[in-house]
């Protein structure tokens, strides 16, 4: 049994909250865990948004199990959540599962450069509110015989594929960040930042990141990119 010793109760609570939000969108969600030194990265894919969500968690001591000093495994998000002990600031790594296709398609580790033109956090939250309201209005205006899944998806693609401000960032990335609790108000003076590396864009906030591959974007599982 591998036990992760998290830095403190807050880290444990934030990890539990992130896993809970992923499970809200997919009760059978899996997450990929990568740990090295005192850093743990938790990758998940909320299916409604077609993005990768990343939560960085601080560990109380460098990861080590026997001769292994790094961890890289895909596990059940639900089983991991059940193992989180917030008071004790620990989590048990569940048994590995057969990873979904997206788990083999992660953003690059390096080569990131900052991109200009990203609006402030308050403007991003306002943007999400506006487009959610637009989606609701447009769908409610549909005649009953046109309110089909295909028609709703068409409206959704029109809205969520728009870009943010002067950037190439799709609106759905910001929507995902808001839904996952990464765009909080009044808790940190640090503003979100946008980075790019090759075909990838990453929206980083103090509470987590959301990444998307913009070139030839289909579903992440169908992308022709290298697997690591």
Supply the mean pLDDT for the chain: 90
Helix axes 171-179, 121-140, angle to 10 degrees: 100
Rounded Cα gap, residues 80 and 88, in angstroms = 15
Same domain, 131 and 95: no
Query: pLDDT of 102-111, one tens digit each?
Result: 999 899 988 9
Q: Which tokens hold the place of 149? A: 């899944």
Same domain, 31 and 119: no
115 contacts 167 by C-beta, under 8 angstroms: yes
**Range in 27-31, 145-149, 193-197, 199-203 the model is least confident about:** 145-149
Distances (CA, A) of 138 to 37, 150, 158: 49, 14, 11
Same domain, 6 and 54: yes
Host domain of residue 41: 2-102
Three-class DSSP category at 114: strand
Query: pLDDT of 110-136, one tens digit each?
Result: 899 999 999 999 999 999 999 999 999
SS3 assignment for 167-184: CCCEHHHHHHHHHCCCCC
Question: What is the pLDDT confidence band of residue 227, given thresholds at 50, 70 and 90?
Answer: very low
Residue 107 lies in a domain: no
Q: Which of 83, 102, 121 is the last residue of a domain?
A: 102
Same domain, 89 and 182: no
Rounded Cα gap, residues 212 and 54, in angstroms = 11
Mean pLDDT within 181-206: 88
Counted domains in the chain: 2
Same domain, 133 and 64: no
227 phi and psi, to 5 degrees? -110, 135
Same domain, 84 and 133: no
Residue 81 lies in a domain: yes
Q: How many CB atoms neighbour CB 65 within 10 A?
A: 14
Residue 198 lies in a domain: yes
Same domain, 44 and 121: no
Mean pLDDT within 188-211: 92
Q: Which tokens hold the place of 36? A: 């090295």
Q: What's 40's domain CATH number?
A: 3.10.150.10
Query: pLDDT of 35-69, one tens digit each?
Result: 999 999 999 999 888 899 999 999 999 998 887 89
Same domain, 151 and 96: no
Residue 189's pLDDT is what?
62
Q: Would residue 208 be called left, alpha or beta, if left means φ above 0 and alpha means ψ between -120 and 50 degrees?
A: left
Same domain, 94 and 13: yes
Question: What is the pLDDT confidence band of residue 7, given thresholds at 50, 70 and 90?
Answer: very high
Same domain, 91 and 147: no
Minimal CA–CA distance to 164: which of 203, 132, 135, 197?
Answer: 203
Question: Rounded to an integer, what is the distance from CA 215 to the centroid of its chain?
Answer: 19
């Amino acid at each position: 049994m591998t036990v992760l010793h998290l830095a403190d109760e807050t880290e444990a609570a934030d990890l539990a909250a992130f896993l809970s939000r992923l499970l809200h969108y997919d009760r059978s969600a899996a997450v990929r865990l990568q740990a090295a030194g005192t850093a743990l990265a938790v990758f998940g894919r909320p299916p409604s948004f077609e993005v990768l969500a990343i939560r960085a968690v601080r560990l109380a001591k460098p990861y080590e199990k026997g001769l292994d000093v790094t961890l890289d495994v895909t596990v059940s998000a639900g089983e991991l959540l059940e193992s989180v002990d917030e008071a004790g600031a620990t989590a048990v790594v569940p048994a590995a599962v057969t990873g979904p296709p997206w788990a083999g398609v992660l953003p690059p580790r390096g080569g990131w450069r900052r991109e200009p033109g990203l609006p402030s956090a308050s403007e991003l939250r306002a943007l999400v509110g506006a487009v959610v309201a637009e989606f609701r209005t447009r769908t409610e205006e549909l005649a009953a015989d046109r309110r089909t899944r295909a028609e709703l998806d068409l409206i959704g693609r029109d809205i969520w594929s728009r870009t943010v401000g002067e950037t190439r960032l799709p609106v759905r990335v910001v929507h995902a960040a808001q839904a996952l609790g990464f765009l909080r108000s009044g808790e940190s003076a640090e503003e979100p930042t946008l980075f790019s590396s090759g075909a990838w864009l990453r929206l980083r906030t103090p509470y987590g990141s959301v990444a998307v591959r913009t070139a030839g974007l289909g579903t992440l599982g169908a992308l022709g990119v290298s697997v690591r």
